[in-house]
Amino acid sequence: MSSQTYDAIKRRPVVGVMTGSLHTENSSKIGAAISKSFKEEDVDVRLYQGLDAKRYLDAGVYLDKGFDYHYYSLFGYSKFDEPDILIISFGTISAVVDPLSLEEFLSRLPDVPVVLMEDDTEIENGINVTIDNYQGMKACIEHLLDVHGYRDILFVSGPRAVPDACIRLKAFQDCMIEHGIDISQDSIVYGDFTENITHLIEEALMAHGIPEAIACANDDMAKAVYRVVKAHGLTPGKDIAVTGFDNIPTSAYMKPPLSTVYQNFYDVSKMAVRKALSYLQNDGEFTTCKLSAEFLPRESCGCCEADSTDEDQDELPFSDKVEGQRIIDHLKVDNILSSLLIRNLFTEEITMSGFFENLGRQIALMNTRRSYICLLGEPQKIDEHDKMFTPETLYMHLYQDGVQILSYGEDDAPVIYPGGLAKYSTRDEKVEMATFLLFYGDIHYGIFCVELDTSQMLFYYTLSLEIGSSLRYLYLALDQKKTLQVLSEKNQILDYTASHDNLTGYLNRAGVMSDSFEYIHSFKKRTHFVAVMGDLDHLKQINDTFGHDAGDDAICTAAKALAYALPEGSPLGRTGGDEFTCLFSCGEDGTVEIEEFKKKVCNYCEKENDEGGRPYYIGVSLGCYEFMPGEEIDLPAMLKLADRELYEAKKSRRENVIRA
């Protein structure tokens, strides 16, 4: 994309939307409602929904605690998208184990205006859009006290540090005190805003006993209360009153329908969108807003009797059942596709670029409009102290736009700095993209960004988990490949050291014997060969007169003289202090004369003697024996015969190699 085009496109505002887990109904509804409200507006939307699958699945299922470590890190990646404003549903985000404070959370985000949902905390450069949590919960407790006359009420609160949970708890406490009712220590249970708190409810009933009513700070936790009281043989609404808060869509279809505090997710979300647009349009209406919350009495608090038994009561209307089944069937297909996708990512010659090219093609086959994957320079291990890890830079390894695939390896991946993803995520038309974390256990890899509809969030979240698992195996495979490469290089060094002479760089005794046999076998039968034994003339005299450095120089020069005279590929080795062994082919009829070889050696030495400026002469005595191997090759015997020829040749060498 050219800079001119990018600058023109970038005029469209970018809104970052942050909510809690897409597995809980209230945060999913908020995310979907905000997305729907922006459909008609000329803005780009970036979705960040928390990834706390561990808590969602934590019903007797073991998952590595690393899931919780990664929960907050997703939101910090918004700094790479360069948003103009953020809408943050902090109530749904902070409802996790060991939540971050709002101040710390905001400090890790881009320094842009914020529309803060479900939190009354005043912040700089931001406004609040909330419901009246206090009055809504107080209306619920007053209904239990005044209408039904209950006095023994067990309250299931949310996490201690979550603002809206604290406000709802205070409403309960104030209302009980106003009615002159003491609150015992075991009258309050601190849940986590999910329905996976069955054990906490069981423990509370054991400590407190069966109360007249159980008031829950949200509807998800009320689901757990339903399961526990039914397991005790009690019926909600008849034997014990149960209430919730939020009025999530399924609350009206629980058995019996749940009495709850009504907050209109769509109205709250629409107001947050309106406030964000007001800021972007600079029309002066960027002000805090609080919406009312209404208590909705249903059968679970004992207000009215059911007209039908539990056995014949439908949980959902027929149209909702059909739609729900359609979604389930679609998810089944998507999950199968994502599993099959991962199977095709690895090849025998694994490379990072090849892995992401395969991944991009598979994602494109799933009709994904556009996606990209950015990784850290190195995978990062996250522990319990790194609640919101955010890197300074990222590296783009995959960009998929329809069928166009760009993949990068470790050395050529483009560097992405904060704000650098804007040019990848912007188009001429409006864009809605979601960002997902890539991790495995406590190892953090980076992010997966996808252009999508909010109805596809769960599928792409599942796919991001699959990709995270695949990245673990990719890095293991790459590490293994590097290890094998290092071992191969070390083995080559060891092989070279074992078969080569350290001084000359040519073969040693073992190496020249091994290579000679391979050399002979590489020719046709009836080929003639010459076994050569060579000896540097008067090495001892050179060493004694000029030192061992001069002797080493003479040995190396002699080796070069032999290499110069030998046909290419012929084995040559130093097999003793001043002794050399070599072998060369002279064709099927022995047409390459031995004397020609000797003459080349002699000429090389004479040239060195004329031009080298040494105070001594270089001379090499040669013993050559021509042979044609039979079925069995007795190379040592051939070399022994060549050595006899060397003995004779030494008789005609110089008597003295020292120059006058």
Q: What is the pLDDT of residues 441-461, one digit of tens each?
A: 888 999 999 999 888 888 888
The per-residue pLDDT for range 400-437, each reduced to its tens digit, is 999 999 999 988 999 999 999 988 887 778 889 999 99
Rg (CA), the chain: 41
Strands (E), 382-509: 394-401, 404-407, 415-416, 432-440, 443-451
Q: How far is CA 42 from CA 277, 428, 501, in A?
A: 10, 11, 76
In this prediction, residue 338 carries a pLDDT of 54
Residue with tokens 């046999």: 517
Q: How far is CA 119 from CA 122, 125, 163, 189, in A?
A: 9, 15, 6, 22
pTM (predicted TM-score): 0.68
Q: How far is CA 578 from CA 103, 588, 606, 620, 651, in A?
A: 81, 32, 18, 10, 16
The per-residue pLDDT for range 319-373, each reduced to its tens digit, is 444 444 444 445 555 555 555 555 555 555 788 999 999 899 889 988 899 999 9
The per-residue pLDDT for range 237-246, each reduced to its tens digit, is 999 999 999 8
The per-residue pLDDT for range 49-94, each reduced to its tens digit, is 876 555 544 444 444 444 556 778 899 999 999 899 999 988 788 7
**Do residues 256 and 236 make contact, with C-beta atoms less than 8 angstroms apart?**
yes
The per-residue pLDDT for range 483-534, each reduced to its tens digit, is 877 777 777 777 777 888 989 999 999 899 989 998 998 888 888 899 999 9
Q: Cα(first)–Cα(last) distance of the chain, in Å? A: 79
**Spatial distance between the Cα atoms of 554 and 545, rounded to a whole number of angstroms:** 13
In this prediction, residue 476 carries a pLDDT of 87
In this prediction, residue 488 carries a pLDDT of 74
**Taking 90 as the threshold, does the pLDDT of residue 537 lie above it?**
yes
In this prediction, residue 465 carries a pLDDT of 85
Q: Token pair for residue 368?
A: 């994904």
Higher pLDDT, 248 or 231: 231
Run of H or E including 189 = strand 188-190
Task: Give the range among 185-199, 283-297, 488-502, 614-628 with minimum mean pLDDT.
Answer: 488-502
In this prediction, residue 92 carries a pLDDT of 80
pLDDT interval class at 254 (50, 70, 90): very high
